[in-house]
Structure formats: C-alpha cells, structure tokens
Structure 1
Amino acid sequence: MRHLRVLLPALFAILLFSTTKAPAAGDQASFASADNGVSLAWNGRELFRLTRVQALSFDRDVSVALAFFTFNKKNERAADLSFGPSPDGKSWPLLLDGKPAGTATFGVTAGGNLHGAIALDASVPADAVRLSFACAPDDRFWGFGEQYNFVDFHGRNLKIWTQEQGVGRAEIPPKFPPGMGSFTDTYFPMPYFMDPAAGKGFLLENPQASFFDLCKAEASQWTAEVWDTRTVSFAAFPGPAPKDIVTQLTAETGRLKTAPPDWAFSGVWLAAQGGTGAVHKRWREAMDAGIPVTAVWAQDWLGKRQFLPGIWGVKHRWAHDPELYPDLEKLIADMAAQGVRFLGYFNPYVLPEFEHWAPMAEKGWLAKTPAGEPYKFQIITFPGGLIDTTSPDAVEYFKGFARKAIAMGQKGWMCDYGEALPYDAVLANARGQDFHNLYPTDWHRINREALEEAYPDGDFILLTRSGFTYEHKVAQVVWAADQEQEWEDRDGMPTVVRAALTIGL
C-alpha cells in the first residue's frame, strides 16, 4: 500500500497572499509582422516570435495500459500556412497556397496578459495544429507542471497528458517490468513554462493532448503541437520577475479562496492503516512519544483488498468498512477531543464487484465507450470504470457518500487518482480526448464542493496527486507520489525536490 511520503504545500496557497506585479494600465502590448511571422512584445521588449503555423494530418494510435498512455502517429502530412498582411496589427490572415485558411488573432486578456489564438478554416484538413516559435541558445523552459527529473527542458521534448508517473523511471522505459515511467511522465502536467532570465512565461490554453519540442529537433525553433482541435490559444506573461510571472499566470488560471488551515502546517500528519485497533495504537504511541500529531490519515477506512500475493491495497469504493473499522466514529471523536483530525480517502473508480456499479451503470453515470456502454478497463489487477463528473446526477450521488464521511467527523481526505479517463471515452457533456486532462481537476472540484458545504470556514484538507492547468482553483496540498525510498536520482528523493520546484513555478 502507498505511504504518505512527502506533501507539497503547493505554491497555490502561498500565492494567495503575495503582493506582486500584475501588468499595469500604462503597460503596452504590441504585435507586428517579423521574419514572415508575428512578434509579441511588451513595452517594446519582444517576448515571443511566432514563426510558423502548420496543419497536421496523420493516422493515429493511442493505446493505454494501467493509465500509461502511448501516442503514435504515422503517415504525417504537414501543410505550412503563411501569414498574410495584417489590416490592423491585431489579426493576420492565414493562407494555404495563397488561399484563405484561417486567422491568427492577438490581444490582451482580462488579466492584462498577451494573448494569441489560431483558428483554422473547416476547409483545411487537420488532426492537429503545430505552432513554431523562435528559440535562442540561452532560452530557458522551466516548469511544465510537476516534473520529477528536469527543471529546464531546453533541448528536450515532452507530452502534456496526465497519467501514471511510474515506479522507477527511465529515458525510455523497458517493457518489463511493467509500471515504469519515462522521465517526463507525470500525474500533474501543465503546458506552461517560464524563462526566469528573460523574464517571460507562456501558457498553452488548450486542454487536449499537446507535445512540446523545446529546440531539440531544430535549435532555432521550439514547437507546441495540439491534437484534436482546429483552434489553439495561448497566453504570454511579461514578468519581469519570476514571482510576477506566477501572479500573471494565476490571473488566468484562478486561485484558491482560502489557504489550508493552520493545523495543516503546525504538526505531523500520521499515516496509519490496518483497522480501528491498529490506527488507535499508532496514534497513541505517537502522542505518548511527544510527537505533535495534528491529523491521522487512514486510507483503508473503505476496506482493503489483495492486489497480488502478499500485496494489499485499498478497496475502490466509497463506503465505510465496518468490519475493518468498527466504532470508527468513536475513534474519530476521541481524536478530535485531543485536537487531532481524521483524514480519509476517496478515488473516482467504480468497480463492478461493489455496490456503486449497478445503479450508476443503469442511470448512465459512468464514463462510456463510443458504443455507449460503461467503459470498463484494467485498474491494477482488477476491472472497473470511472464516475462521469460532467453528469450533475452522478456528482450528487457521489456527494452523498462524501457527506456520510463528513458526518462521521472526517476533516478531509486524499482525493486520489483521476489520470485514467480513456482517450475515446464519452461523457455526458464532454469527449475523452478533450476532457482527459481536465478530469482530475473536475474530480477534485466535486470533492472540494462537498467539503466546503460542510466547512465553509475552510477548516478541511483536500490532498490530491493529479492535476492540470486549472488545478490552482481547487487544490490545497499535492502529494509528490510514488517515489522509490532511496537517494537514487532517477526516482528517489532528488525527484521530490524537483517536483516541488517545478510545481511551484
């Protein structure tokens, strides 16, 4: 079973109360034709230069095993679009073989940052859009969400698609043993970077799968390729200080209303499991030893199951297991009387063997296949599916179980997983290829809503592991995930430091 190793009180909370520079009314954004492209400048300082727009067509193959996704394409055809003359310095016609093929539009966001949008006409064949920008030898690309092996991605490429990050990591993971990730696999990717020396940042706004080449294929160009869309939009941040860039970023992506409660930082969160007796014993031993425990986290309050011989894990269900945890409410009350909060666990999986599957499948509250059937796939060593978080009725059904946990006295929980929505899944109000990256944040949202309903003063903890661009609005504390318990650089303690640095950018 997993152990709570390192918590990242993400910069989301820190930034809530920072007083940093946002673009002022007197600042000036400008856009101009330059070298057959468009230059984006701030007060006369060029931030980025868009040099090329390409419409891509190809045959695709997206495969998945245990929430590890592989994207392949073949027979790629790339159509280079040229920029026509701009009539107003804000929009440029895109031309293909001299004929209208789309529009590139630039301006300033409500948050005061530069903005660009590329829209291809329906007549242009396109499975993806690729944008190319000028790259200099000293350009830096820090960020891309929670990254474990690199901080600066100059000279590298990576995909932005939330998925399992793996146990053990390699540049190219071997097929055996299964479950090993690559150096850029992550639960929490984000199509965003900053260049701290140049004082600028960039955010790709699309939620679909995207692929960045940071001056690797061509030293003079970096590219962002977005699948399954004909429209690509982005924001550019003028900084100039790194703290300013993060403030400008969160003006676009959102911020938390409240920081985690004081008790989240004033003592130890004690991980315990094994049933009422085992948790009580571990808690009392810690208290008797003088350890300042402020919370006890028991992920198996839902029950435990055997994954493999000798390997046990949490039951993927949403209801208390009274056999493993008899008198749990009394234990929670005893802890609360001594200033210790109880934290539980939920994940979005729904398994056919448990009580949630039948009613949810019948009412259409599960993610579906293209044929309209409940989408069932392999989860570790057993099959299951996912709650459809875009269905209001499904959300209300889950919240009923969350409210029962709160009624027992729980002050929050780990809100686990969220990375496995299939690429071709169909939801009540979204497609898998458009919503996959947004699913973790939506899963966290419905959990946060249940907690805010019970604790409007913010006296709760929502511990998450996955995320994407708009996670800032819901996440409080981010779990650094399944590292090896060693000092080895590829997947040991050093990766936790890099994860903290990159997620804080």
Structure 2
Amino acid sequence: MHIMQRPALVVALVAAFPFFSLSQQAVLPTDAISSLELGNGFVLSSSSTALQITQANLSIWATVHDKPFISASAGNDSVEGSNGAFNITQVDTGRCSGQSMTAVRYVPWSASISGGAAELSGHLLGCGNGTAPYALYFWVPANLTDRVAFYVDISGSSNPAQPLKKLYFSYASHAGEDFYGLGAQASFASLKNQSIPVFSREQGAGRGDEPLTSLENASGTFAGGDKFTAYTAISSYISTEGKVFYLSEKSTGYANFDFTEPDAVTVRYDSLSVDGAIGRGSDMFEAVSKLTAATGRMPALPKWVDDGAILGIQGGQDKVDTIVQQGLNISCPIAGVWLQDWVGTHSQAGPYVNVSRLWWNWENDEELYPQWDSFVQDLRSKYNVRTLSYVNVFLANVSTKPDGYRRNLYDEASALGYFVQNTTSNSTAIISSGPDLDAGIIDLTNPGLRSWFTEVLKEQVWNANISGYMSDFGEYTPVTSDTKLYDMVSDAFFAHDEYPLLWAEFQRHIINDLDLQDEALVFHRSAATGANKYMNIFWAGDQNVNWQVNDGIKSVVTIMGHMGLSGYAHQHSDVGGYTDVLTYDDYNTTRSAELLGRWGELAAVSSSVFRSHEGNIPSVSAQFYSNSSTYNYYAYNARMFVSLAPYRRMILEMECATNGWPLLRPPVMYHTSDLRARQISYQSFYLGPDLYVAPVLDPQTFNVTVYLPGIGGNGTFTHVWSGKVYGAGQEVNVPAPYGKPAVFTVNDAWTPELETFLEFVRKKNQTQVLVD
C-alpha cells in the first residue's frame, strides 16, 4: 500500500499529538490533548490517558491506559493434523513489551470519504533484543461512512535472528461488555472470558463432551476437537454496547480473539499486517446491519422450501419412491428429497458394522440410480417433490468402483494439474476417502479448474433438473509448508481460511449463470467472512446424535445464535443429528426415536429449512421412516414447520434481506441490559420479533422451565398451547409433551402471517404424539 506523505501537515499534527511511549508502566503525557477529524463526525483524539475515536461523543474505539495497543511476537504457530482435523498450538516468543508513538500524520488515502487517513507511527520496543517500526491507519470508508476502517502494518524487527511473525491489536473494553459472533461457536453464550481461535476445520466428534472427545483424540488425530473447533473462519463480533468489529475478507490469516481481560480486547493475527473496521450501532440490531452492509447479506431462499420437509434418504430409486409415497399417504408435506448417495457408495470397515462412504465423482451411480435424470423429473412431475443431490470439493479415484464409471474426474484433474499440490511429492495433496481410496481437493485459485469444474457441474449435476445440493467440506485445505495452490501469494496457512469463501462464491456463480436464483438451494457448513453474500442457507454441520451441550442437539441452537450475529441470517441443522458413535471402548451412541422427534420440533420452530439426515451409520439409528410412529411424528413436525411459513417468510423478506438480521435471535439482542438474558445459549431464543421459544432438549422431559427475559417485568409472553399469560423477567414452568414445544407469543403479538401457526396450535392442542 503506497502512501504519499504531506510534510507541512505532518509538522502540525506531530505538534498537536506529542511523542509518547507505552509500556506496562508508562502513561500518556497530561498535555497530550488534541483531535483530528476523520470525516462524517468521527474524531481521533488524544487525552492524558488514551487515544480514542468518537462520533457525537460516543466512543467507537479507545486504547487501554498503560498498555500498548500494538504489539508483535516471534515464533511460528504449530498446526498438526490432516483431513480437516487441525490442532493449533500458539507460539509467542519475544513478545514486544512496549510501544512508542512518534508521529501522527494525515496522509492521502483514496478509499476514504475525506481522501485521507490518520497515520499513527512509532516503534515497538523490547521485542526480544530488537525493536520494530509500525504504522496504524484510521479512515472513514467512502462506501461505508458509518464506521472507521483500520490497517495495521509492522515492518519487522531490528533483530533478524528473531523475526517477528504476528501482531496484536488491543483496545478498550470493560467487564460489563459481552461479545457474540465469531462464526459457529457451539459452547458459549457470551464469548466474554474466552480466548477464541478463528480457523476453519472439522468441529470434531465430541468437542468437549465426554467421554467421546477423549476417546476420539486418544489416537492423536484431534478427531474429537475441543470447545473451540468450528467449521467457520469468521472474524467478526457484535457486543452488547452495539459495537461491531470485523477483519476484512483479505485478512485470511489465523486469528485469535482474546476476551479474557476485563478492560481490553486483543486480536492476535498471524501476520504483520491486517485490516478491518470498527463501528457502533444504537443496539445489537443496528450493529448486525452495519456488519452485513460490509460483509454482505444472504441471497433469498427459494419459496418452495416453505412447502414442507426435505427428506434425507439413501438406498436407491425404489426405496426413495416408496418412502415418498408413504409420507404423502399420511399427509406429510414433502418439499423435496435429499439423496446424497446419488453418486454411489463404497463400504468402509468400522466397529461392529461397516460404514458407507460416497464415490466423489459427480455422476449418477448406475446401480442405485440407473434412470437418474428421468427419476428426478418423475418425482417433480408426479409428486411436486424436488431433488437435492450432493457435491463437495474433492474428486476421488474411482478406478476400483465395482459398477464402473463414465468419467474418472480424478484422473482428468490430475493430468490437468487442477488439484492442490504437495511440493515434496510434486503431486496431488492426497485426502483419504477411506482405505485404499485417494482423493484430491480442487484448486479454486486456478482459473482453468474453475472453468473445467463449472462445466462438469453443469453437464453432470445440474443437467438433471435438480434443485440444489449439499455443498460439503471447504475446511480441508492442507496447511503444511509443502502445500501449494495455483496463485498462492503467501503460504497455505492464509489460503486455508480463504477457501470456504472461494467455494461459496464459486457455487453462487454457477447458480447465477444458470439463472436458478429462485430455485437453487445450496447449503454449506464451512464459511468465512463475506461468504454469506453467496449462500442462501447455512447448515450447522455434523452433530452427535445425543442431547449434549458441545456437540449434540443443544449445540445447534448456540451455533445458530452466534452465526446469526455473524451475518448468517438463514440457517438449519440436520434433523436428528448426524454422528452415530460405535467404539471398541464400551461407548456407543445411536439416535433414538425420541431424539429424532424432539429435533424435528426444534427444526420446525427455529430453522429456515426442514431437512433430515439418515446419519453416518443409518442402520443403527432411528429414521423418520423406521415405523409408523416415527414417520407420523416427523410428518407432524413438518406440518408445524409449514404452518409457520407465512410468518417466517415475512421475517426473511422484511428483516433478514433488508437489514441482515437473523431469523433465530438470541434473547440478548432484545435484552442487552438483562444480565441473565446475556447468558442464554441453547435454552431459549426468539424466532423473529413475535415468537419466543424454549425447545425440549433433554430426554424424557415433559415440562420446560424457561426464563422470560425483560428488566422490570415489562412485557408479556403468552404460552400458545395453554393461552396462559406471563410477565417478563421471571422463570416459569410450562408443559411440553411430545409435539408441543414451549412457544410464546410476545406482547400479545398478532399478525395475519402468524394465523396459520396459531390455527395449527388450536387444531393440534389435544393431539397426542407417540414415540416408539
């Protein structure tokens, strides 16, 4: 970034902002009081204790008394693992202990509203045996004038024997400020008092729920993850003060957000330069609007998803047709089927039973779906049921596929050099798709690959009149030093967190090119800052088929809460969860009919799309089609989902699309002053402004104790099933038998769009739902 200085102005500003140094003991001189206009009312000022940026006397950003606001350290972070399961160890050597600021300059800046930026420069001190020059720039962007952008740049240490590798950007907070966002966080309500790594990877099986996590991690693969592992790399947050902070799409290095200090936030970034922006809204809603004005807002969901369930089925044409007819015979509203095994399956050995894996070759399997094109069309013509398939970022070598193949895309891409490469072997960076089955990850930075793979998807996937697919993975790009991408400017560590953004953008490009914006449903679990503007639905990923907090049914509510405050307004989860666990260590978890039913209730009153999954080992888990009881419960929940469609669609169009607000809203959004509301993660949520929900997330639970938020008892909550009215600010206990999740209307809310749901409640109030 080339900056031309303006010497005459430099002299004036240096005089206004006297030199000073910061260490753990030093303070700003008492006479260091002046200000600099940044534009649109934003003012950078210096006082005896701090630098700060204000607008209309409201603090936007400030330094912390006695503490450096820029720092750096040496050492290379360690990343171990493969196949998406990455374990990061932070290495901080010779962290700089002090900071001097020797100049404040006003420099030309073409992207700013004023044509200039404030440059704060000086040296970092006590960096091992060296020092390092730094510069921090602030400006008001010309295209987003309601915030202040920043750019930090550190030139490197005067001690070449210990080169600096990462920076720290610190600023003021206080003990009463709570934080939300940073992508798919599953284990915490507020992120205050946590240090959150932001890196896209497999979330793991367990994530801290025991004993599974320890069993999975015992092999050394980090397959169990921990409470911080997530599919997403989204470096943005919202605070209870309406503050918004985000790193730009270009800042794709590994970041860690440290909220553990009562008076400060520190962003640790794995590079010597980073950029982003800070702003402040009147409340958390306005903060989300400011965030999504920069990162983008999700494209509209196709309206056909409102019509019913998307049935996740595997097993071939005859099985799918039979299950669809069974559902229609019991009045299950079916919008579509999701057939991930359309490419065929291969068997992989596991504890007690074999596990089926997919052939990643993106053509229909001749044994399971021999008339794929006509089968898809027949489902649409006969039943008005759409078909979703499955695609991911891999191509597997199908040379051993028993029923053959028409094209081996792995061989084609290998010959063309379209995979992410390993420079040690001078060949494709191999991802395992099971024993003796290799796969490569496509290199989305290669324009040749993008053109070639676009045609593959158009000719072999979209040609069958499907309506979308699961767009899987995106978090698997290797991060070893010998990983090479086509146009990699820096190392694989930076390319890794950019990949989910490229994957989402690539899929949206094809949808736009085919003019399928009103039809296509493509759901992702990997995500990065800015990927939301390319996705019309986010999927919460793979959860265990249990009731636990960190990786079971409870975790999806927490994930959706934080993702909504990260700019992802439309979300859903696999109804019933995904991960069955069979081990040789006397620990097994399989899906019960009760969990499946309660998960269906949750999806009906929380999600933008109602889609089930058979799970990773379908034969050991309850399926919605297992028997009449499970199918009837599933159909009931699907009807409840449909009854909410007018209300849900109103929120999607009037609030999500225009303001970026999420459909599912953590209670803190409406009640920032209510300290108890700040700590609600999975226990309850708002669905739009007019419904408050406390789902049943524990087994054999038929009454729910729920806190109704609100300071001073202002507001009312009406339990829809009983009609009983409760005042805000209290804990109440309400019945919640099967099929009747605790749902309340807020402040006597009524709109025509809610009437179909309330009519469903009236009709089903005496219905007894059975679990078998």
TM over 0.5: yes
Residue 138 of structure 1, CA deviation: 0.4
Query: Is this contact kept in 2: 1:160–1:211, CA < 8 A?
Result: yes
Shift in alpha-carbon separation, 1:370–1:240, aligned structure 2, 3 A: farther
Q: Which residue matches 2:694?
A: none
Query: Is this contact kept in 2: 1:157–1:214, CA < 8 A?
Result: yes
Q: How does 1:425-504 map to 2 (within 5 A)?
A: 425-430=483-488, 431-504=491-564
* Structure 2 unmatched runs, 5+: 1-37, 107-116, 400-407, 566-772
Q: 3-state SS of the aligned residue for 1:76?
A: coil
- Per-residue CA distance 1:179-214 (angstroms, 9 max, x = gap): 212112111231111112x12111122211111211
Q: Which residue matches 1:415?
A: 471
Q: Which residue matches 1:361?
A: 414
Query: Is this contact kept in 2: 1:36–1:82, CA < 8 A?
Result: no
2 CA distance for matches of 1:313 and 1:423?
25
Q: Which residue matches 1:264?
A: 305
Q: Which residue matches 2:395?
A: 350
Shift in alpha-carbon separation, 1:36–1:314, aligned structure 2, 3 A: farther
Shift in alpha-carbon separation, 1:370–1:47, aligned structure 2, 3 A: farther
Residue 359 of structure 1, CA deviation: 2.1
Structure with the greater alpha carbon radius of gyration: 2
Q: Which residue matches 2:244?
A: 201
Q: Which residue matches 1:222?
A: 265
Shift in alpha-carbon separation, 1:443–1:429, aligned structure 2, 3 A: same
Residue 367 of structure 1, CA deviation: 0.4
149, 159, 163: which one pairs with 1:115? 149
Residue 383 of structure 1, CA deviation: 3.7
2 CA distance for matches of 1:97 and 1:490?
41
% of aligned pairs identical? 22
* Structure 1 unmatched runs, 5+: 1-24
1:389 matched to 2:444: yes
1:274 matched to 2:315: yes
1:77 matched to 2:131: no
Matched AA of 1:33: S
2 CA distance for matches of 1:44 and 1:171?
46
Q: 3-state SS of the aligned residue for 1:495?
A: helix
Query: Is this contact kept in 2: 1:280–1:331, CA < 8 A?
Result: no
1 CA distance for matches of 2:344 and 2:181?
38
Larger deviation, residues 295-304 vs 90-99? 90-99
Q: Which residue matches 1:247?
A: 289
Q: 3-state SS of the aligned residue for 2:418?
A: coil
Residue 97 of structure 1, CA deviation: 4.7
Residue 361 of structure 1, CA deviation: 1.8
TM-score normalized with structure 2 length: 0.59
Matched AA of 1:427: L
Shift in alpha-carbon separation, 1:75–1:26, aligned structure 2, 3 A: closer
- Per-residue CA distance 1:308-336 (angstroms, 9 max, x = gap): 24211222222211222111122211111
- Per-residue CA distance 1:67-119 (angstroms, 9 max, x = gap): 11122244611124332242448211121359871211101122122111111
Residue 255 of structure 1, CA deviation: 2.6
Q: Which residue matches 1:28?
A: 41
290, 294, 303: which one pairs with 2:331? 290
Residue 37 of structure 1, CA deviation: 5.3
2 CA distance for matches of 1:75 and 1:214?
18
71, 75, 85: which one pairs with 1:58? 75
Q: Which residue matches 2:278?
A: 236
Residue 164 of structure 1, CA deviation: 0.3
Q: 3-state SS of the aligned residue for 2:324?
A: helix
Shift in alpha-carbon separation, 1:311–1:185, aligned structure 2, 3 A: same
2 CA distance for matches of 1:75 and 1:261?
48
Q: 3-state SS of the aligned residue for 1:420?
A: coil
Q: Which residue matches 2:366?
A: 322
Query: Is this contact kept in 1: 2:347–2:357, CA < 8 A?
Result: yes
1 CA distance for matches of 2:472 and 2:547?
25
Q: 3-state SS of the aligned residue for 2:134?
A: strand
Matched AA of 2:359: K
| Bigger RCO (CA 8 Å, 6+ sep) | 1
| Equivalent pairs, count | 476
Query: Is this contact kept in 1: 2:183–2:232, CA < 8 A?
Result: yes
Q: Which residue matches 1:134?
A: 172
Q: Which residue matches 2:124?
A: 96
Query: Is this contact kept in 1: 2:359–2:396, CA < 8 A?
Result: no
Matched AA of 1:412: G
Larger deviation, residues 482-491 vs 276-285? 482-491
1:400 matched to 2:418: no
Matched AA of 2:150: G
Query: Is this contact kept in 1: 2:396–2:433, CA < 8 A?
Result: no
Residue 447 of structure 1, CA deviation: 2.1
Q: 3-state SS of the aligned residue for 2:365?
A: coil
2 CA distance for matches of 1:379 and 1:36?
58
Q: 3-state SS of the aligned residue for 1:145?
A: coil
1 CA distance for matches of 2:504 and 2:388?
15
Matched AA of 1:91: E
Matched AA of 2:384: G
Q: Which residue matches 2:234?
A: 190
1 CA distance for matches of 2:235 and 2:77?
21
Shift in alpha-carbon separation, 1:97–1:52, aligned structure 2, 3 A: same
Larger deviation, residues 41-50 vs 326-335? 41-50
2 CA distance for matches of 1:487 and 1:504?
22
Matched AA of 2:245: F
**Following superposition, which runs of at least 4 residues in structure 1 exceed 4 angstroms of deviation?**
34-37, 97-100, 379-382
Shift in alpha-carbon separation, 1:212–1:295, aligned structure 2, 3 A: same
Q: How does 1:297-316 map to 2 (within 5 A)?
A: 297-309=338-350, 310-316=354-360
Query: Is this contact kept in 2: 1:55–1:81, CA < 8 A?
Result: no
Residue 34 of structure 1, CA deviation: 4.8
Matched AA of 2:279: F
Q: Which residue matches 2:59?
A: 46
Q: 3-state SS of the aligned residue for 2:265?
A: strand
Residue 270 of structure 1, CA deviation: 1.1
Query: Is this contact kept in 2: 1:269–1:294, CA < 8 A?
Result: yes
- Per-residue CA distance 1:232-254 (angstroms, 9 max, x = gap): 11211211222211111112112
1 CA distance for matches of 2:508 and 2:323?
28
Matched AA of 1:211: N
Q: 3-state SS of the aligned residue for 1:90?
A: strand
Shift in alpha-carbon separation, 1:416–1:106, aligned structure 2, 3 A: same
